[in-house]
Amino acid sequence: MARVDDYQLSFDLAAEQLAQMDPARVAERSGAAEAAGGAALELAYYGRPVRVGLAPVAVEVLDGGPEIPLAEQALILHYLTRADGEPLADDWITFREVEAGEFYWSAFVKRAKNPLVGFFGSRPELLKELAPKVGGEGPGISGDVSVVVRAFPKVLIMLVLWEGDDEFPADGNLLFDASIGHYLITEDVALAAGLPIYKMMALARG
């Protein structure tokens, strides 16, 4: 399990890279907006407005809510530094189809698929109810119930559930726009996939 020191190192390395990049180019490629005269970037992160200062690099929320954990701050910087402007493909792939997805498969199942099915499999309507609070933008195109969440301006994740019956238990999966590799490395895809689920679980528990 990653330690705080690991997250800090990940953040620091990405911050160093971001500080050397042209803010206008980063904004264009990532779908973020320049702010503060080019001294910051603003973007939506699971439905929350976020500002990333560039001198020094720092992440802050603009909605008055809780601060973003360090691991997620590093994820935001990874997105900004990796984004290359590739258009959304409007084509959905599984995690196994992401580059090196097989290598991270167990982590993905533990972080995302199992929590999705375990918490929402017996109450799919709750998934639809809470999704708009974490960047949900409407129904997906797969399963009995599915929702599309916009994690970042150019990162779409579809959460899919198949309802159980007397013969088969509930099941689920997560799908990604096929452009995902242009914006996140595979390890970050596994992390990003689980985040809306945990955020909705927290909301459900109050």
Give the H or E element holding residue 21. Answer: none
Q: What is the amino acid identity at position 86?
A: E
Beta-strand relationship, 155-162 and 171-177 = antiparallel
Tokens 């330690």: give the residue. Answer: 3
Pairwise CA distance, residues 72 & 49, whole Å: 14
pLDDT tens string 110-153? 999 999 999 999 999 999 999 999 999 999 999 999 999 999 99
Pairwise CA distance, residues 72 & 10, whole Å: 10
pLDDT tens string 157-200? 999 999 988 888 999 999 999 999 999 999 999 999 999 999 99
pTM score, whole prediction = 0.95
Show me where the domains of the chain are located: 4-82, 92-205
DSSP class of residue 166 equals S
Distances (CA, A) of 112 to 14, 36, 72, 155, 179: 24, 36, 15, 16, 19
